């Protein structure tokens, strides 16, 4: 090491110590153990990012194996997205969409989204993220029914293990207890189905979980009390769960039968993550509302939205009063300019097809790991959204003891080998690992990700099996 490098390393080290101490004192982190954070400071302080890699203060390089929060779909350091934001910021950085004001990128992005979404999902209400989108969808659904004279159609039904965000209604719709119960916040008009993506909606009423299914909830509460059902086409934070064939179509049919809206939460799936533009496109289902966020800008800037069908838009445009809903950043011009550029790149570079093909490679890799390790099972992949289970004995359905912390341990092994992936263990016996790299991942980089997961599983096996 030469003298300059030594000086740089010392500078970095003292900056890391300073930032860590400031972080511990002044920053409360989301979805983080606050006690641990205050004691130990940040795990990683990122200083640079390029492609699928992130660099930390010590110069260590990490592969972003989950696109951070499944959102950095174009990978890091994309200068075209940065330039789109810059160009718009020096033109009109911010303009409100309240009171009928408009600006070009917002209007153009709304039109572009309408051209991509299935069926007659043709009108967008912009938000700043996924939670706001879901709360907005709930409110717009309820408002629609009020306009139709159904004053009691207010209840939203959501699924076990669905994740819909952390604003109060989105939190209560979330079927993951630790989020749903946090702070005791409540929304009495949200009911969480006890059933997961089981086949009971497909007509099997003898299924033991039937009592917790959407249909049984509708029958119990009465259809005139229910505004909407919300589902993720593929559940993400619940542990990457792909519904059985026919499930989404069955939920669509159920909603039609009982005159209830279907809200598809496409916050993770939307804009190509699953190898098609939207998750619902795998099953040719047209929801009444679609919540979008994350992938719309590849996470470069905050943006979300709710896309609605024409019948719903027509009801709103016949209402001669104020639509008393909106966020300061609804239709943020710079965010919308980035959204437009992001979609342009996805289409120009064929990245959604690339995500689909990479998914096939990832699927082969995970099946190979399932074959190799007895404690790996249930691998599931759609495009670049993937997960697998860790079970002490998957044939007999025996989970690892809680003390093993299986998914956290495997993810930690991967971290030590320079790969960031995510563990899910929020239910007793649940140990799921999620992988969702950026769409720009090269074939050999995906191979490297699979190899690191392989090495991490081998290390875990040596310790615990």
Residues in the site for ligand PLP, rule: CB under 6 A?
69, 129-131, 134, 163-165, 232, 236-237, 265, 267-268, 293
Q: How far is the CB of 302 from ligand PLP (least distance, A)?
A: 8
CB of 133 to ligand PLP, least distance (A): 7
- Closest approach, Cβ 226 to ligand PLP, in A, equals 21
Cβ-based nearer residue to ligand PLP, 69 or 420:
69
Nearer to ligand PLP, 232 or 389 (CB): 232
Residue number with CB closer to ligand PLP (67 or 134): 134
CA dist 247 and 236 (Å) reads 17
Task: Give whichever of 9 and 185 is closer to ligand PLP, judged by the CB atom.
Answer: 185
Our CB check for ligand PLP shows the closer of 164 and 196 to be 164
In the complex, minimum distance from the CB of residue 301 to ligand PLP, in angstroms, rounded to a whole number: 12
167 vs 456 by CB, closer to ligand PLP: 167
The residue (of 293 and 376) whose beta carbon lies closer to ligand PLP is 293
User: Could you tell me the smallest distance in angstroms from the CB atom of residue 274 to ligand PLP?
Assistant: 12
Residue nearer to ligand PLP on the CB measure, 217 or 267:
267
Least Å distance, CB 286 to ligand PLP, is 19
Please write down the HEC assignment for all residues of the chain. CCHHHHHHHHHHHHHHHHHHHHHHHHCCCCCCCHHHHHHHCCCCCEEEEEECEEEECCCCEEEECCHHHHCCCCCECCHHHHHHHHHHHHHHCCCCCHHHCCCHHHHHHHHHHHHHCCCCEEEEEEECCHHHHHHHHHHHHHHHHHHCCCCCCCEEEECCCCCCCCCHHHHHHCCCHHHHCHHHCCCCCEEECCCCCCHHHHCCCCCCCHHHCHHHHHHHHCHHHEEEEEECCCECCCCCECCCCCHHHHHHHHHHHHCCEEEEECCCCCCCCCCCCCHHHHCCCCCCEEEECHHHCCCCCCCEEEEEEHHHHHHHHCCCCCCCCCCCCCCCHHHHHHHHHHHHHHHHCCHHHHHHHHHHHHHHHHHHHHHHCCCEEEEEEECCEEEEEECCECCCCECCCHHHCHHHHHHHHHHHCCEECEEECCCCCCCEEEECCCCCCCHHHHHHHHHHHHHHHHHHHHHHC
CB nearer ligand PLP, residue 265 or residue 389: 265
Distance CA 400, CA 391 (A): 6
Distance in Å, CB of 458 to ligand PLP, minimum: 31
Nearest residue to ligand PLP by CB is: 130
The nearest distance, CB 69 to ligand PLP, in angstroms, is 6
Kindly state the smallest distance separating residue 232's Cβ from ligand PLP, in Å.
Answer: 5
């Amino acid at each position: 090491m030469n003298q300059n490098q030594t000086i740089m390393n010392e500078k970095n080290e003292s900056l890391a110590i300073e930032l860590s101490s400031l972080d511990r004192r002044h920053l409360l982190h989301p979805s983080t153990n606050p006690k641990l954070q205050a004691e130990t400071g940040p795990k990683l302080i990122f200083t640079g990012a390029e492609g699928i890699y992130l660099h930390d203060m010590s110069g260590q390089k990490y592969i972003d194996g989950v696109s951070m929060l499944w959102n950095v779909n174009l990978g890091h350091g994309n200068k075209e997205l940065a330039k789109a934001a810059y160009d718009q910021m020096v033109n009109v950085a911010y303009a409100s969409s309240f009171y009928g004001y408009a600006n070009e990128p917002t209007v153009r992005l709304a039109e572009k989204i309408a051209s991509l979404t299935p069926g007659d999902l043709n009108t967008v209400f912009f938000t700043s993220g996924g939670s706001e989108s879901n709360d907005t969808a709930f409110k717009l659904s309820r408002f629609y029914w009020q306009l139709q004279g159904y004053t009691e159609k207010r209840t939203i039904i959501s699924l076990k293990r669905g994740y819909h965000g952390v604003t109060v209604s989105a939190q209560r719709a979330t079927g993951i207890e630790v989020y749903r119960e946090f702070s005791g916040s409540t929304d009495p008009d949200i009911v969480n189905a006890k059933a997961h993506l089981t086949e009971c909606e497909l007509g099997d009423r003898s299924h033991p979980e039937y009592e917790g299914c959407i249909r049984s909830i509708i029958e119990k509460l009465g259809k005139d009390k229910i505004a909407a059902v919300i589902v993720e086409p593929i559940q993400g934070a619940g542990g990457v769960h792909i519904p059985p064939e026919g499930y989404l179509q069955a939920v669509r049919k159920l909603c039609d039968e009982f005159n209830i809206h279907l809200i598809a939460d496409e916050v993770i799936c939307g804009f190509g993550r699953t190898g098609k533009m939207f998750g619902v496109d795998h099953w040719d289902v047209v929801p009444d509302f679609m919540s979008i966020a994350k992938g719309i800008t590849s996470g470069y800037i905050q943006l979300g939205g709710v896309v609605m069908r024409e019948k719903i838009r027509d009801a709103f445009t016949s209402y001669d009063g104020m639509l008393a809903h909106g966020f300061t950043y609804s239709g943020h011009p710079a965010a919308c300019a980035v959204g437009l550029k992001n979609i342009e790149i996805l289409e120009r570079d064929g990245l959604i097809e690339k995500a689909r093909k990479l998914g096939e490679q990832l699927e082969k890799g995970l099946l190979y790991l399932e074959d190799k390790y007895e404690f790996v099972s249930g691998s599931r992949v759609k495009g670049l959204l993937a997960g697998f289970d860790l079970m002490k004995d998957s044939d007999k359905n025996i989970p690892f003891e809680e003390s093993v912390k299986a998914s956290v341990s495997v993810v930690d092994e991967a971290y030590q080998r320079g790969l960031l992936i995510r563990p899910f263990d929020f239910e007793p016996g649940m140990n799921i690992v999620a992988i969702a790299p950026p769409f720009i991942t090269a074939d050999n980089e995906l191979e490297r990700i699979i190899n690191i997961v392989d090495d991490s599983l081998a290390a875990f096996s040596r310790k615990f099996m």
